[in-house]
Amino acid sequence: MRSRIVGTGSYLPEKVLTNRDLESMVDTTDEWIVARTGIRERHIAADGQATSDLALLASRQALAAAGLRPGDIDLIVLATSTPDMVFPSSACLLQKKLGIRHGAAFDVQAVCSGFVYALATADQFIRSGMHKRALVVGAEVFSRILDWKDRGTCVLFGDGAGAVVLEASAEPGILSAHLHADGAYADILNTPGHVCAGKVLGDPTLKMDGGAVFKLAVRVLEECAREAVEANGLKLSDIDWFVAHQANVRIITHTAKKLGIAPEKCVVTVDRHANTSAASIPLALDVAARDGRIKPGDLVLMEGVGGGFTWGSVLVRW
């Protein structure tokens, strides 16, 4: 038994924050941001709009695309670094909002690699026969953990959610997944604050060594892509679509160049969405699926890299 993606969905909050808007908030310019990241705008969740709210709207789209009802789902895996609360998990809150009262639901925390980790996890549950249909979601409200005075980080991130429905199938959709982590790099990207005795201790905003992250990301994404195609007896030239984590357009283009993947095969949404962490891959995937770029039979390589440090890839036959 294998698993196939049978539906995709996404949601972006209504509020759009452009680079021009940021010029009045922090010492930066539109030209500076675009030249270094490719980002032009990002979406920001409304006050009171939580991760599970964004996930709900993306999930409804994915279910509709799959022609399924919420009750057909027996597993929810939600990737996020910005959960609604300490517990219960945002996956359980999403399950309640969908009206599902059976199966399993849990969160996965691997930061920007979260969706890849969640997709690989759900795939294994379906392969084992334990579950038949899974809802896999990446959802974030990163705007809540940013220091809006730090021009090196606040310009990079946005909020959003993306979702896919996985279904058991005799034919392989997900060919393989490859997950990695190395905690030795924890210091170059983190949010060090935590809650203790009702108080926030440490700094609860995101910290990043941009240069170190860039170098590591390009290296591990290249290695993981090669690992994925070699594991399936394929070549990099067989890849029809490269859907990488949308952190920075330069990371995507540098990685694609190292792999020999043509620019027109790269799905890029970072200009409109910015870095939405675990939501970035499913958001980009949904865009390409809905505009008709990804067609049945296409070979799609998804890759993520994020704090931890974590990284991984999923190779899919559409």
Catalytic residues: 112, 245, 275
Token pair listed for 187: 């210091």
User: d(Cα 84, Cα 50) in Å, to the nearest integer?
Assistant: 6
Listing DSSP states for 192-246 in one string gives: --EEETTEEES--S-EE-HHHHHHHHHHHHHHHHHHHHHHTT--GGG-SEEEE--
The two counts, helices (H) then strands (E), for the chain are 9, 15
User: d(Cα 23, Cα 26) in Å, to the nearest integer?
Assistant: 6
Three-class SS of residue 270?
Answer: helix
| Ramachandran assignment for 223, one of left (phi > 0), alpha (psi -120 to 50 degrees), beta (any other) | alpha
H or E, element range at 297? none
User: d(Cα 134, Cα 103) in Å, to the nearest integer?
Assistant: 10
User: d(Cα 139, Cα 159) in Å, to the nearest integer?
Assistant: 8
